[in-house]
């Protein structure tokens, strides 16, 4: 699954070497055994192995990043992943340069994608996204978020 607009598809090369490093990491056969925490993939690319329990979409916020793309890959579990263009969104928490994140108030309309085991989504800095949301009921998720420099 790949989500983007035609404008961003022409702006970014999602098959550029920096993305291929992330995709290659996700082909490893030992992902389920990796402990939580960061993994340095080189060239400024990091993978963060996460363990969490999903929660209500009402409790989550849309976020964006300025310095990185996210490749979010579900190893186990499932979640709803909200997605919308950040253009026109109302900022809830201003940009934190140290954490490279801005949070937004809930937009009047947005989309979502069901991410199950083995699914991934790539989000650009222009994409506001709301991860970790419950599908039917809270469930444990093991996920890898790869940070690819812009």
The answer to whether 47 and 145 are in contact (CB under 8 A) is yes
Residue 2: per-residue pLDDT: 65
Say which residues have a Cβ less than 8 Å from residue 39's Cβ, sequence separation at least 6. 25, 46, 47, 48, 49
Say which residues have a Cβ less than 8 Å from residue 106's Cβ, sequence separation at least 6. 61, 62
Residue 12: per-residue pLDDT: 87
Please give the average pLDDT of every successive group of 10 residues along the chain, which has 150 residues.
69 91 96 97 98 97 98 98 96 98 97 95 95 97 98
Ranges of each domain in the chain: 6-149
What is 6-149's CATH topology? Jelly Rolls (2.60.120)
Rounded alpha-carbon distances, angstroms, from residue 92 to 60, 64, 96: 12, 12, 12
């Amino acid at each position: 699954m790949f989500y983007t607009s035609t404008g961003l598809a022409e702006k970014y090369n999602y098959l550029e070497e920096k993305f291929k490093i992330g995709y290659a990491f996700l082909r490893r056969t030992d992902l389920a055994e990796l402990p939580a925490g960061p993994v340095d993939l080189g060239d400024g690319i990091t993978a963060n192995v996460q363990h969490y329990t999903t929660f209500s979409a009402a409790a989550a916020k849309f976020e964006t990043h300025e310095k990185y793309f996210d490749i979010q890959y579900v190893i186990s579990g499932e979640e709803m992943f909200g997605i919308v263009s950040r253009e026109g969104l109302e900022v809830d928490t201003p940009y934190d340069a140290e954490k490279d994140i801005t949070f937004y108030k809930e937009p009047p309309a947005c989309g979502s994608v069901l991410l199950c085991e083995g699914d991934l989504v790539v989000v650009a800095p222009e994409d506001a996204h709301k991860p970790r949301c419950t599908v039917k009921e809270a469930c444990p998720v093991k996920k890898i978020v790869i940070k690819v420099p812009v």
